[in-house]
Amino acid sequence: MSLRCCCLSGGEEGDCGGFGKRRWRRNGGELGRDTMELYNEKNKAGRYINLHNALIQMYSRCRDIKSSRKLFDGSKYLDQISWNFMISGYLKCGSTEDAKTLFDSMPEKDVVSWSTMISGYAQHDHFTEALSLFNEMQLTTECKPDETILVGVVSACTHLAALEQGKWIHSYIKMKDLKINSILGTTLVDMYMKCGCVESALEVFHEMEEKGVSSWNAVIMGLAMNEFVQNSLDKFSDMKRFGVAPNEITFLGILGVLTCGFSR
């Protein structure tokens, strides 16, 4: 029985293939029946987990969190993905307290667990909690923040006007030589602009390899917000010159820029 548990746990001693080969040699070329049963049980458990996780995720996406939790609680096979899907489901439904309770009770937390919880806090305007959880992750684990975590934390810094922590995160990104893609770059530009650090915002913007319409909107409206009206209009011209199509937000921003300019 202990051997069966070892194999199902997925540890080094649980290598069913290796165990099968040893049994094959020991039985003179005849594969033991218990080995086949063990192999089939492990495969069955794997298939069961995959199906269960897919159903948990499906119910969560449909906002049927009660059915998700019923499946979660009724399963004898749970893995890291099961926990992460369940936490994500609670956050999608706005149940941040239930998500945090489940997060705190997890046997193990991987970077996806932290990422899901931190970004979920930020998306539901719990910015203080997002920063607090990020600091806890940094102090108590060896998990390295991914793009989703960084976007959530920078967003929290923006809303809390926590410029120094935002600068630290930007320095961390540079130190680790992480790629600043369109989403992360736009979030940094937005933070710097809203904190009045126009030069830092423009530095990030110019270093970005990918600039989507949201990136251009952030810099255009950020310049206008900081009373650089002509620079804002110049960026709008650059945007069109680079072939990026403006959207409704762009035009609303430009309308505000022109109104501000004419009122002076």
Q: Range with the lowest mean pLDDT among 58-62, 193-197, 220-224?
A: 58-62
**49-65 per-position pLDDT tens digit:** 888 889 999 998 899 99
The model's confidence at residue 260, banded by pLDDT at 50, 70 and 90, is low
Question: pTM of the predicted model, to two decimals?
Answer: 0.76
The model's confidence at residue 231, banded by pLDDT at 50, 70 and 90, is very high
pLDDT of residue 14: 41
**137-151 per-position pLDDT tens digit:** 999 999 999 999 999
Count of CA atoms in the C-beta half-sphere (13 A) of 102: 22
**13-48 per-position pLDDT tens digit:** 344 444 444 443 444 444 445 544 444 454 554 567
pLDDT of residue 145: 92
Contact indicator for 65, 89 with CB cutoff of 8 Å: yes
Site of tokens 């499906």 = 58
pLDDT of residue 6: 37
Best CA proximity match to 130, nearest among 108, 110, 145, 109: 145
More reliable by pLDDT, 234 or 20: 234
pLDDT of residue 4: 40
Q: What percent of the chain has pLDDT over 70?
A: 80
pLDDT of residue 47: 67
Over its C-alpha atoms, the chain yields an Rg (Å, rounded) of 25
- The answer on pLDDT for 127 being more than 70 is yes
**69-107 per-position pLDDT tens digit:** 999 998 888 899 999 999 999 999 999 999 999 999 999
Distance, CA of 158 to CA of 184 (rounded, Å): 13
Q: Which two tokens stand for residue 48?
A: 């069961």
